[in-house]
Amino acid sequence: MGTRDVAAWTTLIASYVQTGRAEEAIEAFVRMLRNESSNSASPNEYTFSAVIAACPNIERAYLGEQLHAQAARRGLSHTRSVANSLVKLYARRGRLSAADAIFRENAVKDVVSWSTIISGYAQEGLVEESFALFSEMRHHSSCPRPNEFTLASLFSVCASAASLYAGRQLHALAVAAGLEHHAMVRSALVNMYGKSGSMTDANVIFSSRTRDDVISWTAMIVGHAEHGHSKEAFQLFEEMCRVGLKPDHVTFIGVLTACSHAGEVELGLRYLNAMNKCYGVEPEKEHYGCVVDLLARAGRIHEAEELIGRIAADGRDGVVWTSLLRACAARGAEETGKKAAERMMEAEPWGSGAHVAMANLYASKGQWREAAQERHLMKQKGVLKGAGWSSVEVGGDDRGVGVFVSGDRTNPHDNAIYMMLELIYYGAGMVHQIPDQLDLGSEVELTVY
């Protein structure tokens, strides 16, 4: 083979990355460096951009940092293409401070730069930060309009926060930008409306599709499954297969979740067995977790435990044991619950889930001393339980998402909030004493900012 120039090396590396062959991309880059002195082909900014793009797909995180150092040494780390790849690399690793620092240092930002950093914050579920960046992007004089990647990332944030109002605003922006029919945007819209509880809107978007794709069908199936519409989820799955689409691992999570909510044990087991045999999808721990939950909800605790024994080779898979432990806590199955808790602690020594679930199990059986012991063990190990929280979309002029954290007293309106909670709590047990003709809805209104 003749001597390759920099364009040939870069094309080779990029093709490996695009076809999912990350290790081969890294190896090609190393060969290029070894031959650098003899063939005069030094990596340029596009070479580094391509090889850095391979790093999020491999386990060795340090490689990305080494490539970052190499690019900096050659004065290429601040070029736009390399900076964009570095932002994506660090964001995918959850290192948002590093990603943000590189983004801010990048003097020339394009729509890819903005979309990449917004996507990084979005995948971490940071709603306010994602929208703050989007607002900054829209007011940036040199930045073009948002593209499909920007909007899809923001729709995912709306979905995670179940913020229907913000999602509708973004939908209007997508229409104005002429992107509402783009496959990526349409799928993100279906997912957002489904996660926000508006399956009617999700169905309108889904029905307007010009061609079928797995992501949109899967979003509809998962949406119906999560809202307890199991029959609709099953029908969509069968129809999806009839139109010739191949379900993926996310599709089967939706279908198995629907089985769990409907109590369709035998159907769920059939789907699990058919995944690999009929559809070529290898079941993963999330699928087994769904089936364990399905069996346990039906009271078939021992079958759930046997299933885990067959699939968890090292017995240390936290996902499936978590599903079993939660079911044991709900049903008061103490002995199996203890075993599941032990396995969970082996898989996640510093996690609080096993202790909390066991404390709840003991409390449900009136074993208060044992419940207190679990809490004491947590303190001894220094294990902290994440605060329970919920959110609600608040209307009015200052529309937004209000977040409520268990035990929080930092809200300036906390006295009014807790007073209303007490009224709701005590009023719930007194509903039968309230005359039918009395309308309390117009008497009290509480706005939380």
CA distances 20 to 14, 16, 57, 116, 213, Å, are 10, 6, 8, 20, 21
- CA–CA gap between residue 224 and residue 253 (Å, rounded): 12
- CA–CA gap between residue 290 and residue 139 (Å, rounded): 45
Q: How many residues does the chain have?
A: 449
Q: CA-CA-CA-CA torsion for 391, 396, 398, 403, nearest 10 degrees?
A: -10
Domain count, the chain: 1
- CA–CA gap between residue 310 and residue 334 (Å, rounded): 22
CB 216, CB 209: distance < 8 Å: yes
CB 142, CB 157: distance < 8 Å: no
Least Cα distance to 80 among 119, 46, 118 occurs for 46
Neighbours of 306 (CB within 10 A): 11
Q: Domain for residue 83, yes or no?
A: yes
Question: What pLDDT sits at residue 446?
Answer: 34
Pairing mode of beta strands 400-405, 389-394: antiparallel
CATH number at residue 30: 1.25.40
* pTM of the shown model: 0.69
For residue 78, the enclosing domain spans 1-108
Per-residue pLDDT of the chain (449 residues), as tens digits, is: 456 788 999 999 999 999 989 889 999 999 898 887 766 688 999 999 999 998 876 666 678 889 999 999 999 999 999 999 999 999 888 889 999 999 999 878 888 899 999 999 988 888 889 999 998 888 876 666 788 999 999 999 888 888 888 899 999 999 988 998 888 899 999 999 998 889 999 999 999 888 888 999 999 999 999 999 999 999 999 999 999 999 999 999 999 999 999 999 999 999 999 999 999 999 988 899 899 889 988 889 888 888 888 776 544 466 777 778 777 777 777 778 777 777 777 766 666 666 777 777 777 777 788 778 777 777 776 655 555 556 666 555 555 556 666 556 666 666 777 666 666 655 555 444 444 443 333 333 333 33
Question: Rounded to 5 degrees, what are φ and ψ at 404?
Answer: -115, 125
Q: Domain for residue 58, yes or no?
A: yes
Please give the structure tokens belonging to residue 51: 């090889």
Question: What pLDDT sits at residue 435?
Answer: 42
Q: Domain for residue 142, yes or no?
A: no
CB 225, CB 199: distance < 8 Å: no
Q: Domain for residue 38, yes or no?
A: yes
- CA–CA gap between residue 162 and residue 182 (Å, rounded): 22
CA distances 184 to 53, 126, 165, 203, 403, Å, are 21, 21, 20, 16, 29
- CA–CA gap between residue 57 and residue 46 (Å, rounded): 19
Please give the structure tokens belonging to residue 144: 């073009």
Q: Domain for residue 25, yes or no?
A: yes
Least Cα distance to 417 among 440, 448, 388 occurs for 448
Q: Domain for residue 358, yes or no?
A: no
Question: What pLDDT sits at residue 438?
Answer: 34
Q: Domain for residue 98, yes or no?
A: yes
Q: Domain for residue 22, yes or no?
A: yes
Please give the structure tokens belonging to residue 359: 């404390």
Q: Write out the DSSP string of 250-281.
A: HHHHHHHHHHHHHT-HHHHHHHHHHHHHHH--
